[in-house]
Amino acid sequence: MQYTEIMVRYGELSTKGKNRKDFIKQLGKNVKRVLHNFDHLKINARRDRLHVTLNGENSDKVIDRLKDVFGIETFSPAMKVEKDIDAVKKVALEMVKDQYKPGMTFKIDTRRQDKNFPLDTHEINEALGSAIVDNIDGIKAKMNKPDITIRAEFRMNGVFLSSLTILGSGGLPVGTGGRATMMLSGGIDSPVASYLGMKRGVKLDMVHFYSPPYTSEQALAKAKQLTEKLTRFGGNIQFLQVPFTEIQEEIKEKVPEGYLMTVQRRMMLRLTAALTISRHCKGIFTGESLGQVASQTLESMMAINDVTNMPVLRPLTSLDKTEIIRIAENIDTYELSIMPFEDCCTVFTPPAPRTKPNLYRTRECENMIDVKGLMERALDNVKIVDIKPGEEFLNANEDVFSELL
């Protein structure tokens, strides 16, 4: 059925004491961003609940979007009805019929804010319950753990009926945990790490390295589409395209093969740290999982981290690949991540990278390239794209992608 409003209940943010107001305000902003293309919605974030007035918008589509927004514990779609008991009976009966299967039980739970309504709470429960029993064969009332609960709220501005409690994504509203950058590749891991960081309230700016002509426009579009997949958890995301061709070519030409990967990763982290500072962010997230590949051993991490003293957070450190894939499937990034477009991390990978690079030897190898000049030219040519929920980046390459599927 099509509902008239949705009542959103807060999760963990409801325990935030003096900061509660800021958390609720941020959640309201995030809900507006996620629902930006529904023109007629009215969103009101109050201390106890957030209310979404639908004003004729498709309630099923709005519900699908709300399920993913971090900071929401549960929500209930509701129907607003005029304060006439016969009208309330009609809608309550419709709600029960919409869910009823033989053998189910029900309960009426009435809250009467409007004390001037002519019937008291007990009389309203009796009137609605009788209407349901009289019109649905076999249904029985049950006060303790019924299958269907019809909640009737008699407010000053009307009666609001609801019967469903839908589970939200929990977590904290994106933006309440500070701001950081995310080193986003086109693979499986970094979108999952982004999801976990965002769930703790961190607003992420995506930093993506691309190396034309070694990486294609399709690979860039794929990274943008992965970013769009993540916008549904908290709204718009800034996508930073960092040119990396010149850097990779110079590293390939001047650095010994065993240290190509380590020096390349150091340059990526240097650039990300510079962007993080310039954008007033407080940390860097990566998709690294300990021991998964050569650059993710403790020795490699130490050699790479040497270029910055900023916090580098790795949400996937202790997860194995099976666990990471399971999360990727749940958040709908897996099928996109495995599309066979190589990113700049794989194009220049040496056949035998060092898994335990020596820190001092790494620094010596890095001195073989023009670190300062390469960084300046890359940073001067960064492009920033503001990615919104619902945007498409793969349509322009539809023929190419259809051949891969």
CATH of the domain at 291: 3.40.50.620
Q: Is residue 242 part of a domain?
A: yes
Containing domain of residue 390, as a range? Answer: 179-404
Measured distance between the N- and C-terminal CA atoms of the chain, rounded to whole angstroms: 36
Question: 331 and 219 in one domain?
Answer: yes
Query: In tens digits, what is the pLDDT along the chain, a chain of 405 residues?
Result: 889 999 999 877 655 667 888 999 999 999 999 999 999 999 999 888 899 999 999 999 999 999 999 999 999 999 999 999 999 999 999 999 999 999 999 999 999 999 999 999 999 999 999 999 999 999 999 999 999 999 999 989 899 999 999 999 999 999 999 999 999 998 999 999 999 999 999 999 999 999 999 888 999 999 999 999 999 999 999 999 999 999 999 999 999 998 999 999 999 999 999 999 999 999 999 999 987 776 788 999 999 999 999 999 999 999 999 999 999 999 999 999 998 776 655 556 666 677 899 999 999 999 999 999 999 999 999 999 999 999 999 865 455 444 444
What is the per-residue pLDDT for 350? 66
Q: Is residue 376 part of a domain?
A: yes
Question: 220 and 75 in one domain?
Answer: no
The SS3 call for residue 111 is: strand
Question: 314 and 362 in one domain?
Answer: yes
CATH number, domain with residue 68: 3.30.2130.30
What is the per-residue pLDDT for 14? 55
Q: What residues form the annotated binding site for ATP?
A: 183-184, 208-209, 265, 287, 296
**Contact assessment for residue 385 and residue 202, using Cβ atoms and an 8 Å cutoff:** no
Q: Is residue 304 part of a domain?
A: yes
Q: CA angle 288-293-299, nearest 5°?
A: 80
Q: How far apart, in whole angstroms, are the C-alpha atoms of residue 307 and residue 393?
A: 34
What is the crossing angle of helices 245-254 and 260-278, to 10°? 150
What is the per-residue pLDDT for 340? 79
Q: What residues form the annotated binding site?
A: 183-184, 208-209, 265, 287, 296
What is the per-residue pLDDT for 403? 45
Question: 210 and 158 in one domain?
Answer: no
> How many domains in the chain?
2
**Contact assessment for residue 154 and residue 113, using Cβ atoms and an 8 Å cutoff:** yes
Question: 198 and 347 in one domain?
Answer: yes
Question: 272 and 230 in one domain?
Answer: yes
What is the per-residue pLDDT for 405? 45
Q: Which two tokens stand for residue 384?
A: 């920033």
Q: Is residue 294 part of a domain?
A: yes
Counting Cα atoms < 13 Å in the Cβ hemisphere of 352 gives: 1
What is the per-residue pLDDT for 16? 62
State which amino acid sits at residue 367.
N
Q: How far apart, in whole angstroms, are the C-alpha atoms of residue 261 and residue 346?
A: 10
Q: Is residue 384 part of a domain?
A: yes
Question: 138 and 214 in one domain?
Answer: no
Q: Is residue 174 part of a domain?
A: no
Question: 149 and 38 in one domain?
Answer: yes
What is the per-residue pLDDT for 293? 73
Question: 185 and 95 in one domain?
Answer: no
- pTM, entire model: 0.88
Domain boundary among 117, 139, 169: 169
Question: 88 and 61 in one domain?
Answer: yes
What is the per-residue pLDDT for 79? 94
